[in-house]
Chains A and B, each alone.
Chain A
Amino acid sequence: MAEPHPHPNHLWRNPEPKRAYDVVIVGAGGHGLATAYYLAKNHGITNVAVLERGWLAGGNVARNTTVIRSNYLWDESAAIYEHSLKLWEGLSEELDYDILFSQRGVLNLVHSLGDVREGRRRVYANRLSGIDAEWLTAEEVKAFCPIVNTSPDVRYPVMGGTLQRRGGIAKHDYVAWAFARRADEMGVDLIQNCEVTGFELEGNRVVGVQTDRGPTAAGRVAICAAGHSTVLASMAGFDLPIQSHPLQALVSELLEPVLNCVVMSNAVHVYVSQAHKGELVMGAGIDPYISYAQRGSPHVIEYQLAAAIELFPIFSRAHVVRTWAGIVDVSPDASPILGLTPIANLFINCGWGTGGFKATPGAGWVYAHTIAHGQPHALNARFALERFTTGALIDEHGAAAVAH
């Protein structure tokens, strides 16, 4: 693996908020920052502020486990996630920042006949969408990732798996900082410690935002607030079908390289990769209750560790060094909501739930298009809020539920 570049010592200015902007983006997570970057780069819109209630990249973007893949079931999802994956493939160069994007392969293990059918169906669907996908037998799983326990003597033996070789991981905070630095260079104001507390409306049109540092006028406003999406929508007077849940993750101490790919198992409920520094990074499903506390229950961690040790007996002596949680915005069909709102000039990007890191460049790219043109791009048209009324859901529970 190439040595990372020396870390840049200047990333962005810390400007005071101006009185007015063409576009105000709410939330300096990965999606808000990528949106600002593509607004400036693809659409020449640079009179833009990104307002962040905490610090830049203090939310899910730097709390997630960085699994990147595009092997979703339905055409709409495959198209938007694959668009994102293609952007990832050029991102270090484009942003001139080594974000440690590593296409080491994402392996989804299956442990039941139902899983086998679902996995094979997804492989075929992916191939029809032009996405690389392979079906591996249990022996092939063992050959690709030798430390997986494929013995038949466990409670849920590995019966095979799907593999997307172009999937992998990246270094999450570098991704946020790289987009931030480039957006800042093009004139975008990144304003931290600035919470949006309300919207200025004229009739059914947004004309600005209120913040804890005073009001700011805005031609257009774009919400990118992940776990806080419904809080912002209710300030503007509309509802979203979103539930905010804790999602936990953990890391071990730094270890010698032992794991060469990303391994996920929906059935025994854990996924794991080894970060560049050497820690094992693990996660599983959400905590069941609504929460904004950025913490979850310890038994969720205990359960995923049990699963990890069953799959990887070699990890039994590793230690948990840190656990944490983010607040994820879960939608009813496990697909995002990305487009217009009932309020004119107010846009929404949310519902990425447990799996929006991989979408960071793709979502920013289509969201910038949507904001610049006042209407969705073909890639996000189907992800409109109206689908919950029309019934045209994009059900990705099979591909997204536990797998991130």
Chain B
Amino acid sequence: MLIPCPWCGDREDIEFKYGGAAQIAYPANPDSADDAAWARYVFFRPNPKGKMAERWVHSAGCRRWFNLVRDTVTHEITPTPAAEERR
């Protein structure tokens, strides 16, 4: 699988570490979050069959984090148009 690093270009997936689903927000009001809200934040993650927004880090390259959208059935990576969204 070739992963497009926004800074280095396409590289083999062995150069990267996977960061799981993108855009997981920390609970907005942690003091008032109940057990169910903490359970969701700590243990529940998107697991879609299809397009998935996820994080990767180019750990054996430039060591920078970025986001991309990958199809979990075909492994096809959709280029995210705006460079800002990818970083």
Distance in angstroms between the alpha carbons of A228 and B14 in the assembled complex: 26
Contacts of A293 in B (CB 8 A): 72-75
Q: Assess whether B14 is in contact with A242, with CB atoms less than 8 Å apart.
A: no
Min CB distance A73 to B, Å, is 20
Distance in angstroms between the alpha carbons of A9 and B87 in the assembled complex: 59
The residue that B39 contacts in the complex, of A230, A289, A388, with Cβ under 8 A, is A388
Distance in angstroms between the alpha carbons of A291 and B48 in the assembled complex: 9
Interface of chain B: mostly helix, strand, loop or mixed: mixed
Q: Assess whether B43 is in contact with A289, with CB atoms less than 8 Å apart.
A: no
Q: Assess whether A292 is in contact with B14, with CB atoms less than 8 Å apart.
A: no
Mark each residue of chain B from 72 to 83: 1 if its CB lies under 8 Å from any CB of chain A, else 0.
Answer: 111100000000
Chain B residues within 8 Å of chain A by Cβ, number: 25
Distance in angstroms between the alpha carbons of A332 and B70 in the assembled complex: 23
Q: In chain B, what residue has the closest Cβ to A291?
A: B72
Is A22 positioned at the interface, with any CB of B under 8 Å from its CB? no
The residue that B72 contacts in the complex, of A239, A242, A292, A388, with Cβ under 8 A, is A292
The residue that A390 contacts in the complex, of B12, B13, B20, B35, with Cβ under 8 A, is B35
Is B52 positioned at the interface, with any CB of A under 8 Å from its CB? yes
Q: Assess whether A228 is in contact with B49, with CB atoms less than 8 Å apart.
A: yes
Q: In chain B, what residue has the closest Cβ to A302?
A: B14
Chain A residues within 8 Å of chain B by Cβ, number: 22
Mark each residue of chain B from 39 to 64: 1 if its CB lies under 8 Å from any CB of chain A, else 0.
Answer: 11011110111001010000000000
Is A288 positioned at the interface, with any CB of B under 8 Å from its CB? yes
The residue that A288 contacts in the complex, of B18, B49, B70, with Cβ under 8 A, is B18
Distance in angstroms between the alpha carbons of A299 and B47 in the assembled complex: 24
The residue that B73 contacts in the complex, of A242, A243, A292, A389, with Cβ under 8 A, is A292
Q: In chain B, what residue has the closest Cβ to A290?
A: B72
Task: Determine which residue in A231, A241, A244, A390 has the highest number of CB atoms from chain B within 10 A of its CB, and name it.
Answer: A241
Q: Assess whether A292 is in contact with B54, with CB atoms less than 8 Å apart.
A: no
Distance in angstroms between the alpha carbons of A110 and B49 in the assembled complex: 37
Beyond A299-B14, A390-B35, whether A289 also contacts B47 by CB under 8 A is no
In residues 366-404 of chain A, which contact B (Cβ within 8 Å)? 388-391
Is B1 positioned at the interface, with any CB of A under 8 Å from its CB? yes
Contacts of B39 in A (CB 8 A): 241, 388-389
Q: In chain B, what residue has the closest Cβ to A303?
A: B14
Distance in angstroms between the alpha carbons of A389 and B43 in the assembled complex: 9
Min CB distance A399 to B, Å, is 20
Contacts of B24 in A (CB 8 A): none
Task: Determine which residue in A230, A240, A241, A289 has the highest number of CB atoms from chain B within 10 A of its CB, and name it.
Answer: A289
Contacts of A391 in B (CB 8 A): 35
Task: Determine which residue in B13, B36, B49 has the highest number of CB atoms from chain A within 10 A of its CB, and name it.
Answer: B49
Q: In chain B, what residue has the closest Cβ to A331?
A: B43
Contacts of B11 in A (CB 8 A): none
Q: In chain B, what residue has the closest Cβ to A298?
A: B14
Q: In chain A, what residue has the closest Cβ to B1?
A: A297
Q: Assess whether A242 is in contact with B18, with CB atoms less than 8 Å apart.
A: no
Distance in angstroms between the alpha carbons of A332 and B73 in the assembled complex: 22
The residue that A242 contacts in the complex, of B13, B36, B47, B49, with Cβ under 8 A, is B47
6 contacts between A and B (CB under 8 A): A239-B44, A240-B44, A288-B18, A289-B72, A291-B73, A332-B43
Known: A290-B47, A290-B52. 13 other contacts (CB 8 A): A228-B49, A241-B43, A242-B47, A243-B20, A243-B47, A244-B72, A288-B17, A290-B20, A297-B13, A297-B14, A299-B13, A388-B39, A390-B35
